[in-house]
Chain A
């Protein structure tokens, strides 16, 4: 990881990696004898994988079931409720701050993603292209940021934004989420930009485009897969962020969903059905988003970190 960040030029170009991956896949696919003669083995593998997949989904299935449980059946130990109470989703919306929480989460996730892109794209591009003085120092700074999680800085963050009188503000959460996701975005984008031939830009620059123009018109479109990966990772991280929301927002209507659902946990009783109705609303969009880019996740990780 440190290697790729400190020397992005050495990073394997994603295009090449994708090609080798494809070669590997076709080689494996091109060995049908193993698939044919080892049929029971394939079945065993499939069975194990399906079982594991079910295991990974189990907690979320239980959440959905609980979200649909009638309130008076929450203390029953049975696996399934006698009937599914779809009205829970309506009630939770009406009786809590969930709408506000969802709005905060959306604003924070979208805002910090946008901010990360605005800040990371130029920085990553310049770092990948130009050997300026202080480049090493800058990359070290980025690496150090990657190492420090908000959890370890909570007290400092709280004191800072308390003094700035910026607690309970969406802007604070946007700034914080952007800052802590910046390192990953710069790191992955630098690797992508470094893999795009300089010659393409040079000819554009000779034709009169400045560096900014070359970036916008030539390089950025080519680096789109990397940009999308960085975007989605940032969006999901900000969407699921908890500790900063918990610390920097103290009023229920200013809290993100991850913090807001905790209001269903009282001192003596927990409204589990409402709690999980809220959770399901928060989880489903992200899981769908993630599933859509499942293939890109592998190539994104390959470009950014592994090689």
Chain B
């Protein structure tokens, strides 16, 4: 990659030079500068565009193409499949429940994360002895790999020797150790708990950053005007936190919707596809039929696009309001 970025300078001196020469008007050009300047934005943003094209746009194309192909398990293309893979996908008996699970998973995890993070941010924004140390502890799930954290929880929930089973038995919460992850009814809540657990640090830090941009005078004024703590929070802090909150929601929506490592590490989406979201289901299909898996990806991808568009609309609306 780095070689491409250096060669794009001199190599581009030929034809794109004339084409891009006209672009110079757009920039605040002050002095006559040499070759590099006459190329316009190309040497500056070219490598970034190339990298995005190679690793993000090409796979999108490849994914859509694969969903219309008949491909053997060893990777040979056997011809066009038309819409067969989509028909096959939509005929999957577990698809409706997988989509429903994905929606519930996303809404519950993002909702819980935002609520808990609001409280955590408020708490860790106070001054108290050991604030620095406790904030370090809060960072651990963010810095540690999600896969490893999820496997850690899987181990703590182990029926024979899991420390959480032991703890809950000792506290009298359950009669005997249980196989929490074997039953979808208990596996889902635990996986949601882990998903919230790993999302909290980033979200809390985003909100903490938002809290620090609120000038102290605002609170001073509220206090002078006789506002109580709850009134201050709902009338002043929350509205001012809105931009940070919005960032938190969006990043979490994307992360949680696409969340794969937690479920994959803890249940592999099983039994069958009972604890799978669309991304996990896609990976399950990849092992049996890559074309159908690609069709699932395209559907999944379309859902992400819808989310992105909704967000862009929402943020523009947000801007107009300001």
A residues near B (Cβ < 8 Å) are 1-3, 12, 17, 20-21, 23-29, 35, 42, 45-46, 48-50, 52-54, 56-57, 59-60, 62-63, 66, 74-79, 114-115, 118-120, 122-123, 125-127, 129-135, 138, 141-142, 144-145, 147-149, 151-160, 162-163, 174-176, 178-180, 182, 186, 202, 205-206, 210-212, 236, 239-240, 242-243, 257-258, 261-262, 265, 272, 275-276, 279, 282-283, 286-287, 289-291, 294, 297-299, 301-302, 305-307
Contact = CB atoms under 8 A, between A and B. Distances in A.
B213 A211 contact: no
A77 B161 contact: yes
18 contacts: A17-B212, A49-B123, A52-B120, A53-B136, A75-B161, A77-B165, A78-B166, A118-B5, A119-B5, A122-B44, A131-B26, A132-B26, A138-B45, A156-B63, A159-B294, A279-B148, A290-B139, A298-B209
B135 A159 contact: no
A289 B139 CA distance: 11
Interface-central residue, A2, A24, A59, A141, by most chain B CB under 10 Å = A59
A210 B41 contact: no
B143 A283 contact: yes
B319 interface: yes
B134 A53 contact: yes
B152 A1 contact: no
Contacts of A50: 130, 134
Contacts of B61: 156
Contacts of B243: 3, 306-307
Given A153-B63, A272-B155, A119 B48 contact: yes
A48 B123 contact: yes
Contact of B297 (A21, A152, A160, A206): A152
Contact of B59 (A53, A78, A160, A279): A160
3 A-B pairs with the lowest CB-CB distances in the bound complex, closest first: A27-B216, A156-B59, A156-B63
Contact of B144 (A131, A148, A286, A299): A286
B31 A206 contact: yes
Given A63-B152, A211-B36, A240-B145, A53 B137 contact: yes
A138 B31 CA distance: 25
A156 B65 CA distance: 9
Contacts of B127: 28-29, 35, 42
Contact of A145 (B2, B52, B161, B318): B52
A258 B145 contact: yes
B149 to A, nearest CB: 6
Query: Chain A interface secondary structure, helix, strand, loop or mixed?
Result: helix
A72 B311 CA distance: 53
Given A131-B27, A154-B282, A276 B45 contact: no
B112 interface: no
Contact of A46 (B130, B177, B214): B130
How many of chain B's residues touch chain A, expressed as a range? 35 or more
Interface string B267-288: 0000000000001001100100
A306 B206 contact: yes
A46 B128 contact: yes
B153 interface: yes
B304 interface: yes
Contacts of B201: 56
Contacts of A291: 136, 139, 143
B12 to A, nearest CB: 14
A182 B254 CA distance: 17
Given A46-B129, A138-B41, A148-B301, 8 more contacts: A62-B155, A62-B163, A79-B166, A115-B51, A156-B64, A157-B62, A159-B66, A289-B143
B56 A145 contact: yes
Interface in B33-75: 33-34, 36-37, 40-41, 43-45, 47-49, 51-52, 54-56, 58-66, 75
Contacts of A289: 143
B215 interface: yes
